[in-house]
A = this chain, B = another copy of it.
Amino acid sequence: MTDAATNMRLKLPATCLILEIILMILFGTLVQYDHETDAKHWHEHLHNRSSDIENDFYYRYPSFQDVHVMIFIGFGFLMTFLQRYGFSSVGFNFLIAAFALQWATLMQGFFHGMHGGKIHIGVESMINADFCTGAVLISFGAVLGKTSPVQLLVMALFEVVLFAVNEFILLTLLGAKDAGGSMTIHTFGAYFGLIVTRVLYRPNLDKSKHKNCSVYHSDLFAMIGTLYLWMFWPSFNSAITAHGDDQHRTALNTYYSLAACTLSTYSLSALTAHDGKLDMVHIQNAALAGGVAAGTAGEMMLTPVGSMIVGFLAGIISVLGYKYLTPVLEQKLKIQDTCGVHNLHGMPGVLGAIVGAVTAAVATKEVYGEGMEDVFPKIQSGAFTASAQGVRQAISLIVTLGMALFGGLIVGFILKIPIFGAPSDAICYEDNIYWEVPGEEPHHDNQLTAVRTEEVEKLNE
């Protein structure tokens, strides 16, 4: 199952090596340790501090590691549900994430980490780089099974730039808040990926249809991804909020949002099945929508019950999306969304953005006290009123959708150029094209083998 078009012998090494060499040149020219990572600067700084424990490392590194697990295990294994695409799901996820986090360090640093002509890096920039990578992996979910690794690297190359521009507009120019990335990560990544997959529409994809489904153990592997995403989402949303009550509250809000979302997901999954049986697709995906939807308002004084309501609604929307909207998107709009990122990241991301805008608009000094400074510095300083903050949050959503749709369109057409080794319609969702794949099953004793031989012969008849 090798042919010239999809042969990666030269394309993939060339792409990876050129990208990595460019990265190294740019890092060598532009990137420096920040003042908490640099031996000299931190020790100068220490004189004015009480202790090493005030280094940002101790505030953020445990959260960083949780986010890191979400990126590599969470996203990677979530996509292993396909029966013959596990190597690619985990392996391409690994490759494009390793590339994207380096590239994101530069792009995000360029837009908001420059100090005297140099990009300063430390644990917070590492978390931000992983966040940006998350958006790329969401888009990967939309095109899963239908793209070559070179296409994915090219997509990541452009998407990271657009992500950084969008993030800069939202957080710096508009003064919006989006610590857990309902807008910057989820809405952006999902709609970007959806447009890319629309542009790459394959009318004859049903030739590979029999491979676009799971087997028993592939669904269990996917549950590893699901659960790590679910468990660590409180760390994701709180990873870069202000220290103290902010990180604490964000983690707590996300925890309850996810718990409520899980119950509505199970409810709706059984309710919408004709025989009341739960559908693994819903459990693996929709139960996570509560984390997405708490991405903007999680750091605000959303209240525990507010978080639960948000999660509860997110789960409902997400299951209904999988059940009723995905088939429509595919048939009417020609959007072939392999993982249903519209249901997990798209709609819940938009919901999260709206919840964030409303929560911001009703913020009062009464409720936030001195903590207003950390959550809404512009309101505290008098630059905005609370309702102006709300309006800017809403504008941010519109900007994000615009950037994602426009960016996805352009990048989709770039990826259509037939030099990147995309698989033909008949060999989608198949590891064999890009990977050395071993047999399915171990060598067993003769006895068992005999039984199986009969089965195999029967199948061959």
Q: Is the CB of A279 within 8 A of B459?
A: no
The closest CB in chain B to the CB of A16 belongs to B267
Closest residue of chain B to A20, judged by CB? B263
- In the assembled complex, the CB of A94 is this many whole angstroms from the nearest CB of chain B, namely 6
Q: Which residue of B lies closest to A427 (CB)?
A: B455
Q: For residue A40, which residues in chain B have a CB less than 8 angstroms away from its CB? A: 367-371
A273 interface residue (CB < 8 Å to B): yes
The residues in A between 432 and 461 inclusive whose CB is less than 8 angstroms from any CB of B are 433-446, 448-453, 455-457, 459-460
A53 contacts B56, C-beta separation under 8 Å: no
Among A27, A268, A312, A442, which residue has the most Cβ atoms of chain B within 10 A?
A442
Q: Does A231 contact B (CB under 8 A)?
A: yes
User: In whole angstroms, how far apart are the Cα atoms of A226 and B202 in the complex?
Assistant: 34
Q: A65–B232 Cα gap in the complex (Å)? A: 7
Is A385 an interface residue, CB under 8 A from the partner? no
Which of the four size classes fits the interface of chain A?
35 or more
State how many angstroms separate the Cβ of A284 from the closest Cβ of chain B: 10
Q: Do B243 and A52 touch (CB < 8 A)?
A: yes
Tell me the smallest distance from the CB of A392 to a CB of chain B, in Å: 20
A205 sits at the interface (CB 8 A): no
Q: Which residue of B lies closest to A33 (CB)?
A: B249
Are A231 and B73 touching (Cβ within 8 A)?
yes
Identify which of residues 272-321 in chain A touch chain B, using a CB-to-CB cut-off of 8 Å: 273-280, 283, 287, 301, 303-305, 308-309, 312
A447 to chain B, nearest CB (A): 9
What CA separation (Å) do A439 and B8 show in the bound complex?
32
**Contact between B280 and A57 (Cβ–Cβ < 8 Å)?**
no
Q: Is the CB of A9 within 8 A of B260?
A: no
Asked if A401 is at the interface (CB within 8 A of a chain B CB), the reply is no
Q: A123: which B residues are within 8 A, CB to CB?
A: 248, 251-252
Within 8 A of B (CB), among A352-389: 367-375
Q: Report how far A27 CA is from B9 CA in the complex, Å.
A: 57
Provide the residues of chain B in CB contact with A17, threshold 8 Å: 263-264, 267
Residue-by-residue, is A420-435 near B (CB-CB < 8 Å gives 1, otherwise 0)? 0000101100000111
- Nearest 6 pairs between A and B by C-beta? A39-B371, A40-B369, A9-B276, A43-B370, A52-B244, A42-B245
> In this assembly, does A59 line the interface, its C-beta being within 8 Å of a C-beta of chain B?
yes
Residue contact B275 to A2, C-beta cutoff 8 Å: yes
Q: Which of A92-127 contact B (CB under 8 A)?
A: 94-95, 98-99, 101-102, 121-123, 126
Q: How far is the CA of A62 from the CA of B53 in the complex (A)?
A: 14
The listed residue (B72, B243, B260, B312) touching A231 by CB distance below 8 A is B72
- 18 A–B pairs (Cβ distance < 8 Å), ordered by A: A7-B276, A12-B270, A20-B263, A20-B308, A33-B301, A33-B304, A37-B245, A39-B374, A40-B370, A41-B245, A41-B369, A42-B245, A58-B59, A61-B247, A61-B248, A65-B231, A126-B252, A439-B452
Which residues on B sit within 8 Å (CB–CB) of A372? 39
Whether B436 pairs with A273 at a CB distance below 8 angstroms is yes
Q: Add 10 more A-B contacts to A38-B371, A72-B230, A87-B280 (CB < 8 A).
A: A11-B276, A16-B267, A38-B245, A39-B374, A40-B368, A50-B50, A57-B248, A98-B263, A449-B460, A452-B456
A255 in contact (CB, < 8 A):
yes
Q: A53-B58, A228-B73 are in contact. Are A216 and B39 (CB under 8 A)?
A: no
- Cβ of A402 under 8 Å from chain B: no
